[in-house]
């Protein structure tokens, strides 16, 4: 894959990456949530595998980037195998996931990239949600070029020189401007405002998904073709193709306060977990698991690689990491 604003950034996650939903109502969006049509079944208490309190239903929102899938894979596996929870994972865009806290459709968002507007509405406002602490991941969002471009044109890593290279980035979709390739339209992004406010001769074009964005960068490096695009960390792909970040005007506190006027780089995001207030007060052992869950960018990238590159199922990827990291998992479990 993030201080965010819905207005222009459709924010998820630097991180990187990094994610707002379109103008769907909560009822419609949640009814249609997930490619597999996941639904919340009636709570059926299940005995905790650790011998503690029954867990019952545990509903995890899954936002559309593989780093988040890695979070969910591991937490879901531990909740099911160690705590006896009945886990339902729901594929939801970021803003829509927050709408599920009040209705009970969503218990937790495992990787939040800022979203100050949603914090004001759901945490400070109707108090249906609470901040459950850091994930341990540090998120970075920015503009990147493939390594070959940074080697051949080193000054391209300064935004002030981007107009000099705009013609190289023209595509059929960008017309007479250079293309700035973004990923999923719901990802956290200030890019349209940045292009306008920095007076850059570029047009934001959406690849449509994280996978499409990765494919574009992979091909650009392999074929030595120009590409300027949005990207973020943590992301396993950066260990395969070390993209080079373009330096935008430095971020300062409040420089992104007004979405339409943003003319600075993205901040570094200390990613955190957001959960339903009712869920966290329920006494469920899964609530304690969510509170304690914490790992590193390297941990997440490894599980994300299992899923994306090694083509493992989420459950198998979660199991592999859990089996190899028993001490970390033990620290997340409720005290017996």
As a three-state string, the secondary structure of 243-297 is: CEECECCCCCCCCCCCHHHCCCCCCCEEEEEEEEHHHHCCCCHHHHHHHHCCCCH
In DSSP notation, 93-147 reads: -HHHHHHTTTTTS--EEEEE---HHHIIIIIIIS--EEEEEEEEEEEEEEEEE-H
Q: Per residue in 210-226, pLDDT tens?
A: 999 999 999 999 999 99
Task: Please determine, for residue 52, whether its predicted confidence score (pLDDT) is greater than 70.
Answer: no
Q: What's the confidence (pLDDT) of residue 228?
A: 98
pLDDT, tens only, 62-92: 999 999 999 999 999 999 999 999 999 999 9
Residue 11 has pLDDT above 60, yes or no: no
Q: Find the radius of gyration of the CA atoms of the chain.
A: 20
Question: What confidence category does residue 35 fall into, taking pLDDT thresholds of 50, 70 and 90?
Answer: very low
Give residue-wise pLDDT tens across range 145-185. Answer: 999 999 999 999 999 999 999 999 999 999 999 999 999 88
Q: Which residue has the higher pLDDT, 29 or 160?
A: 160
Return the pLDDT at 53: 65
Residue 34 has pLDDT above 70, yes or no: no
Q: Report which of 135, 110, 143 is spatially closest to residue 297, judged by C-alpha positions.
A: 135
Neighbours of 251 (CB within 10 A): 15
User: Can you give the pLDDT at residue 31?
Assistant: 42
- 227 neighbors 215 (Cβ within 8 angstroms): no
Top pLDDT among 176 and 114 is at 176
Which of the four pLDDT bands, split at 50, 70 and 90, describes residue 294? very high
CA-based nearest residue to 67, from 19, 34, 24, 32? 19
At residue 291 the predicted structure's pLDDT band, cuts being 50, 70 and 90, is: very high
pLDDT band for position 54 (50/70/90)?
Answer: confident
- Evaluate if residue 236 carries a pLDDT over 50: yes
Query: Could you tell me the domains of the chain?
Result: 8-138+272-327 (3.40.190.10), 140-261 (3.40.190.100)
pLDDT tens-digit series, residues 90-104: 999 998 999 999 999
Nearest to 288 by CA among 301, 299, 279: 279
Cα(288)–Cα(280) distance, integer angstroms: 8
Helix (H) or strand (E) holding 202: strand 202-206
């Amino acid at each position: 894959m993030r201080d965010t604003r819905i207005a222009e950034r459709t924010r998820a996650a630097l991180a990187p990456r990094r994610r707002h939903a379109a103008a769907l109502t909560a009822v419609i969006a949640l009814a249609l949530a997930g490619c597999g049509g996941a639904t919340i079944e009636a709570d059926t208490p299940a005995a905790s595998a650790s011998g503690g309190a029954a867990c019952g239903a545990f509903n995890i929102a899954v936002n559309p980037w593989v780093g988040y899938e890695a979070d969910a894979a591991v937490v879901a596996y531990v909740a099911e195998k160690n705590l006896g929870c009945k886990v339902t994972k729901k594929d939801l865009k970021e803003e829509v996931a927050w709408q599920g806290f009040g209705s009970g459709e969503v218990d937790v968002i495992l990787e939040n990239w800022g979203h100050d507007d949603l914090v004001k509405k759901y945490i400070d406002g109707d108090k249906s949600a609470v901040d459950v602490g850091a994930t341990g991941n540090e998120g970075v969002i920015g503009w990147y070029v493939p390594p070959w471009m940074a080697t051949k044109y080193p000054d391209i890593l300064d935004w002030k020189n981007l107009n000099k290279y705009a013609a190289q980035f023209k595509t059929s979709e960008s017309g007479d401007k250079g293309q700035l390739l973004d990923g999923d339209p719901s990802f956290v992004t200030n890019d349209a405002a940045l292009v306008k406010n920095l007076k850059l001769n570029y047009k934001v074009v959406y690849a449509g998904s994280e996978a499409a964005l990765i494919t574009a960068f992979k091909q650009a490096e392999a074929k030595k073709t120009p590409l300027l695009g949005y990207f973020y960390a943590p992301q396993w792909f950066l260990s395969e193709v070390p993209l080079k970040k373009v330096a935008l005007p430095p971020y300062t506190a409040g420089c992104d306060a007004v979405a339409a006027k943003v003319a600075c780089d993205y901040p570094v995001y200390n990613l955190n977990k957001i959960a339903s207030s009712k869920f966290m007060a329920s006494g469920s052992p899964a609530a304690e698991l969510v509170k304690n869950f914490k790992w590193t960018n390297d941990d997440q990238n490894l599980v994300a690689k299992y899923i994306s590159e090694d083509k493992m199922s989420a459950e198998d990827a979660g199991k592999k990491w859990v089996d190899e990291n028993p001490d970390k998992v033990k620290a997340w479990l409720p005290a017996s």
